Amino acid sequence: MEKKRGSFTDKLGFVLAAAGSAVGLGNLWRFPYLAAKHGGGIFLLIYLILAVTFGFALMVTEIALGRKTRLSAVGAYPALDKRFKFLGYLSSVIPFLITPYYCVIGGWVLKYLVVFLTGQVSSAAADEFFTGYIAQPAAPVIFFVIYVTVGMVAVLLGVEGGIEKASKFMMPVLVVMTVFISVFSLMQPGAMEGLRYYLLPDFSRFSATTVMAAMGQLFYSMSLAMGIMITYGSYMKKETNLEKSVRQIEIFDTGIAFMAGLMIIPAVFAFSGGSEEALGKGPSLMFITLPKVFDNMKFGTLVGAVFFLLVLFAALTSSISLTETLVSIVVDKFKFSRKKACGVVYAWLLALGIPVSLGFGIWSFIKPLGMSLLDFFDFTSNSVLMPIAAIGTCIFVGFVIKPKTLIEEVEVNGRFKMKKFYSIMIKYIAPVCLVAILIFAVMEALGMITV
Ligand code: TRP
């Protein structure tokens, strides 16, 4: 029995919608700082390998699960096996942890847009501008609250569609700008060394931490292991070629992340010397490096303003889609009205996001596991809960419903070329590697090993 459910009209529509939600701060902000920190080329190489193996297998799995059951995560797992209901819940918890800090960064982007619009490029390019800014008690919180409120109003009024339309136009512009900024960065003296660092893998830098970081980034960037792609799949038409769509989403998402790295990493070498300290800046890297690039550019104020506006849009489409997910989970689970659910989610985002923001300043004494609050939420979701959810999904598909069930779903319209590879991946390779990664991640965080 086919339930009535709207579906994405044209083939490209599905890919664009899924890619639109996948492309966001994960690509532009998170990927470059992880690549810079974890050895450049070696991180890039590991990421690419993981994307075509794990990423491919998991995305096929989630989309096929959704399309087969026509349900989102909370319903899809128990529809196929009652015992796996918890997996739906587990995946649903993850976006509750990610969204608040995602919006804190959204607030930083908004601030930078204002900085560029008001022409304060040179002050933004100064070394201590960013760290000084996020340590303030009021301003970053205010920008965060504005950002969250804008997103919430969009969800409440149901105008996400409008923002999505706008972003379909903005996305290609963003890609062009990224190319332009990368070329400019690469022309700066000293940048070539950065290019080498980014593209040539240094195998002596290979470590469990690097693999773990790349894996967490893969989940994050492709919105995997949190039920999102299951929901997307539930709207996918049977006529759409699933395998091909997954490839296209992956290429798109990885392409943008790659370009973002190209834009930022060589610039770190050109403007900050490429020392370990400069490369290891973490979450602040984009905000420290790019203003220096713009400050050196003719019309840098304008270019910077346009750039941060585009990043803001990419971030907004992602966080609105995250917020929408949270609202629908609350509606389904607690049978609240949409309005009431929006209120609850809004309160949640503020309750977690404000401490995250203050964690860089007056609350920096709160250091769970020795991390800042942002890093702590990021770690818990990306390095712990997502691998657990992914392991559960592998066991569920590999040994309970069997890969055959989903292969059939992929094959409703043509051959699944990679099906042998897919089966082996989902049954053996992925779960074993994921368990290893999870153990390493937790041991390292608890200080039991240093890698
Ligand atoms: N993938 C998004 C990014 O790269 C972040 C994200 C994670 C997301 N989960 C999501 C976006 C769910 C929309 C919906 O920034």
**Which numbered atom of ligand 1 lies nearest the CA of 226?**
9
Give 39-71 pLDDT, tens digit per residue. Answer: 999 999 999 999 999 999 999 999 999 999 998
Six token digits for residue 148: 């969250």
Extended beta strands in 291-361, E state: none
pLDDT at residue 215 in the model: 92
**Which numbered atom of ligand 1 lies nearest the CA of 29?**
15
Dihedral, CA atoms, 278, 284, 286, 289, nearest 10 degrees?
-40
Is the CB–ligand 1 distance for residue 318 below 6 Å?
A: yes
The helix/strand/coil state of 319 is helix
Task: Collect all residues with Cβ–Cβ distance below 8 Å to 276 and sequence separation of at least 6.
Answer: none
How many Cα neighbours within 13 Å face the side chain of 125? 20
Six token digits for residue 97: 């942890």
pLDDT at residue 73 in the model: 87
pLDDT at residue 160 in the model: 64
pLDDT in tens, the chain (451 residues): 344 456 665 556 677 677 777 889 999 999 999 999 999 999 999 999 999 999 999 999 999 999 999 988 888 999 999 999 999 999 999 999 999 999 999 999 999 999 999 999 999 999 899 999 999 999 999 999 999 999 999 888 876 666 667 767 777 888 899 999 999 999 999 999 999 999 999 999 998 889 989 999 999 999 999 888 998 898 888 988 999 999 999 998 999 999 999 999 999 999 999 999 999 999 999 999 999 999 999 899 999 999 999 899 889 888 988 998 899 889 888 999 999 999 999 999 999 999 999 999 999 999 998 899 999 999 999 989 999 999 999 999 999 999 999 999 999 988 999 999 999 999 999 999 899 888 888 888 887 766 5
pLDDT at residue 12 in the model: 62
Six token digits for residue 272: 């900050």
pLDDT at residue 2 in the model: 41
Dihedral, CA atoms, 437, 440, 446, 451, nearest 10 degrees?
-130
Is the CB–ligand 1 distance for residue 216 below 6 Å?
A: no
Six token digits for residue 238: 């049977």
Six token digits for residue 341: 């659910």
Measure 298 CA to ligand 1 centroid, in angstroms. Answer: 33
Of 163, 322, 345, which is best to mutate to test ligand 1, by the most ligand atoms within 8 angstroms of its C-beta?
A: 322
Measure 126 CA to ligand 1 centroid, in angstroms. Answer: 31
pTM: 0.91
Dihedral, CA atoms, 114, 119, 120, 122, nearest 10 degrees?
140
CB atoms near residue 204 (< 10 Å): 8
Measure 318 CA to ligand 1 centroid, in angstroms. Answer: 5
pLDDT at residue 272 in the model: 93
Closest residue to atom 4 of ligand 1, CA basis: 26
Which domains are present in the chain?
Answer: 11-445 (1.10.4160)
pLDDT at residue 440 in the model: 83
pLDDT at residue 3 in the model: 42
Task: Collect all residues with Cβ–Cβ distance below 8 Å to 264 and sequence separation of at least 6.
Answer: 32, 33, 36, 185, 285, 286, 289, 290
pLDDT at residue 9 in the model: 55
Burial of 128 by CB count in 10 Å (0-12 exposed, 13-18 middle, 19+ buried)?
A: exposed
What is the gyration radius of the CA atoms in the chain, in angstroms?
21
**Whole-Å CA distances, 130 to 283, 323, 448:** 11, 27, 33
Is the CB–ligand 1 distance for residue 21 below 6 Å?
A: yes
379 with 369: CB under 8 angstroms?
Answer: yes
